[in-house]
Amino acid sequence: MTGAADTGDDRPADVAVIGAGVVGTAIARALACQDVSCVLIDAENDVGTGTSKANTAILHTGFDAVPGSQESTLLRRGSVLLADYARRAGIPVERTGALLVAWTPEQQAELPAVEDKAHRNGVTDVRRIGAGELYRREPHLGPGALGALEIPGESIICPWTTPLAYATQALAAGARLRLRSRVTGIRAGATEHQVVTGTGVVRCRWVVNAAGLHSDTIDAMMGGGEFTICPRRGELIVFDKLARPLLSSILLPVPTARSKGVLVAPTVYGNVLLGPTADDIPDRGDVATTGPGLASLMEAGRRILPRLVAEEVTASYAGLRAATADRDYQIWVDGSRRYACVAGIRSTGLSASLGIAEHVTGLLAEAGLRLAGRPEPDPPVMPYIGQAGTRPYQDAARIAADPDYGRIVCHCERVTRGEIRDALASPLPPADVDGLRRRTRVLNGRCQGFYCAATVAALFAGAGPGAAAPAGQRPAHGPMATGSGRRAPRGWRSAAPR
């Protein structure tokens, strides 16, 4: 258990939040900041290791959501809240804007409808631009684009720092974090629920189900069973930083009813992303990339930004959307069962996370959960891992005060010994090298750890939290664990050292 120690008394927690992705951590943060005693439970060894670590990392405005849907409302609210929170918490965000490009007369004819939809979603600063302006702004765009819709508010964000910031704040406010604790059953009771996990039973008055791809299983444990999660895999390709000057904005396709389509976007780490695909698959754990998936992305990329596909590929990965038969989020609170279901957060959960948390907290209060009603405390200031701002290796004053910020360990991503040391000593330390990667960018660059993995592993083993961790909570040491969301491409040329 990380965070405030067990109280030792016999009282159940007010709330157990199942799932420590970006949604569950946001909810735990909101509750803990309102003096609600809260246990955040996850099957894995860290927060944010599910879909939350493997997405396209766009802070959406919600311009293309279905007007009037729960997603539209919470996305709109969430994106405003997260933009502000990120600024205060040091979460990397860049307001690059997006251009939704029409490549065919049919797509061009769709633009007024997309513009109208944006207006109905409250995103009123969109505007149509012609081919001339489009090519002036994006000179590397492939030939044949007919025009675009500009959405100035679309931004790119760090998907890793976001749940870490939420969880860090939740812990500071008194929440407890129970990792490596897969929920295998729930004994729902009249006065309390007993959540059975791999590391023991958690007693609580309320259950919040934020289990992402497994939220239907948790729902069934609470006597529900009204929806089924159908994983929809999205594969993405990460291009080297040398590709970054090829575009200024996020380049979006005209969306279809099924998916937002394949886009090209800068990342806050200075790379370029191409993806995602959208394939319904039966296996909720299958985050392998595929030859056909990557080939289809390259074909799309060749049309959108021809020079991109000639650039070096750094990595590829896949994430799974928690799709349901209903396109909208599945969020409700049942006061009689003291249960909140927060499921089906398919394609926009990162952007909507704070809106979802605010909404769920409000529903819980209406259903009888007591909140302190106090103003929100300031967020924690997280280590900055973006490319646009000043990193420790660029900060002469910081290096003068502490030379470890001048000692670069990962040269591709310019990560210093000081940053690694800080991450290992943070209130929510990484449990393995993959967790360290999400906190610092170490091993993330074009060599994918070829030059620094041994040093990083040694630093992790020497200074990692394992020695101090209680039995059963020891971090899984080992070489470069790439984790589920970031695998070496299958059937793809190696992203190996150059």
Ligand X SMILES: Cc1cc2nc3c(=O)[nH]c(=O)nc-3n(C[C@H](O)[C@H](O)[C@H](O)COP(=O)(O)OP(=O)(O)OC[C@H]3O[C@@H](n4cnc5c(N)ncnc54)[C@H](O)[C@@H]3O)c2cc1C
Note whether 192 and 12 are within 8 A (CB).
yes
Core vs surface per residue 231-242: b (16+ CB within 10 A) or e: bbbbbbbbbbbe
From residue 224 to residue 263, the character string flagging contacts with ligand X as x (rule: CB under 6 A) and all else as - is ----------x-----------------------------
Question: For residues 427-466, which are near ligand X according to CB under 6 A?
Answer: none
Q: Does residue number 279 form part of the binding site for ligand X (CB under 6 A)? A: no
Residue 318, judged by CB atoms within 10 A of its CB (0-12, 13-18, 19+), counts as buried
> Minimum Å distance from CB 30 to ligand X?
14
Q: Write out the two tokens for 285.
A: 């754990």
Q: Is the peptide bond before 276 cis (omega within 30 degrees of 0)?
A: yes
Q: Does residue number 20 form part of the binding site for ligand X (CB under 6 A)? A: yes
Helix/strand/coil for 366: helix
Q: Does residue number 41 form part of the binding site for ligand X (CB under 6 A)? A: yes
Among residues 271 and 351, whose Cβ is nearest to ligand X?
Answer: 351
Torsion of CA 394, 397, 399, 402, to 10 degrees: -150
> Minimum Å distance from CB 415 to ligand X?
24
Note whether 127 and 112 are within 8 A (CB).
no
The residue whose two tokens read 């609470």 is 222
Q: Where does 278-371 have alpha helices with state H?
A: 291-304, 349-366
Q: Among residues 83, 123, 210, 300, which is the contact residue for ligand X, using CB under 6 A?
A: 210
Note whether 418 and 402 are within 8 A (CB).
yes
Q: Write out the two tokens for 437.
A: 């990667």
322 φ/ψ angles, rounded to the nearest 5 degrees? -85, 75
The region of 66-74, 96-104, 319-327, 448-456 touching ligand X under the rule CB under 6 A is 319-327
The region of 43-51, 138-146, 327-335, 477-485 touching ligand X under the rule CB under 6 A is 43-51
Note whether 329 and 343 are within 8 A (CB).
yes
Q: How far is CA 342 from CA 62, 104, 133, 134, in A?
A: 19, 38, 42, 39
Among residues 429 and 449, whose Cβ is nearest to ligand X?
Answer: 429
Note whether 91 and 85 are within 8 A (CB).
yes
> Minimum Å distance from CB 177 to ligand X?
12
Q: Does residue number 164 form part of the binding site for ligand X (CB under 6 A)? A: no
Is beta strand 58-59 parallel, antiparallel or unpaired with respect to 2-3? unpaired
Helix/strand/coil for 48: coil
Q: Among residues 13, 17, 23, 98, which is the contact residue for ligand X, using CB under 6 A?
A: 23
> Minimum Å distance from CB 399 to ligand X?
34
The region of 27-35, 86-94, 108-116, 204-212 touching ligand X under the rule CB under 6 A is 204-212
- Between CA 160 and CA 442 the distance in angstroms is 13
The region of 39-47, 331-339, 371-379, 466-474 touching ligand X under the rule CB under 6 A is 39-47
Q: Among residues 214, 338, 359, 398, which is the contact residue for ligand X, using CB under 6 A?
A: 214
Among residues 321 and 417, whose Cβ is nearest to ligand X?
Answer: 321
Question: For residues 182-201, which are near ligand X according to CB under 6 A?
Answer: 182-183
Among residues 42 and 94, whose Cβ is nearest to ligand X?
Answer: 42
246 φ/ψ angles, rounded to the nearest 5 degrees? -75, -15
Q: Write out the two tokens for 391.
A: 């990193």
Q: Does residue number 51 form part of the binding site for ligand X (CB under 6 A)? A: yes
Q: Does residue number 320 form part of the binding site for ligand X (CB under 6 A)? A: yes
The region of 32-40, 222-230, 314-322, 461-469 touching ligand X under the rule CB under 6 A is 314-322
Question: For residues 337-376, which are near ligand X according to CB under 6 A?
Answer: 345-351
Q: Among residues 83, 211, 250, 481, which is the contact residue for ligand X, using CB under 6 A?
A: 211
Strand segments, DSSP code E, in 180-249 are: 183-187, 193-197, 200-209, 230-239
> Minimum Å distance from CB 263 to ligand X?
9
Q: Among residues 60, 205, 417, 437, which is the contact residue for ligand X, using CB under 6 A?
A: 60
Q: Does residue number 486 form part of the binding site for ligand X (CB under 6 A)? A: no
Q: Does residue number 43 form part of the binding site for ligand X (CB under 6 A)? A: yes
Residue 246 CB coordination number (10 Å) = 20
Q: Does residue number 485 form part of the binding site for ligand X (CB under 6 A)? A: no
- Between CA 79 and CA 76 the distance in angstroms is 5
Among residues 349 and 380, whose Cβ is nearest to ligand X?
Answer: 349
475 φ/ψ angles, rounded to the nearest 5 degrees? -65, 150
Among residues 42 and 138, whose Cβ is nearest to ligand X?
Answer: 42
Q: Does residue number 266 form part of the binding site for ligand X (CB under 6 A)? A: no
List of residues contacting ligand X (CB under 6 A): 18-24, 41-44, 49-52, 55-58, 60, 182-183, 210-214, 234, 276, 319-321, 345-351
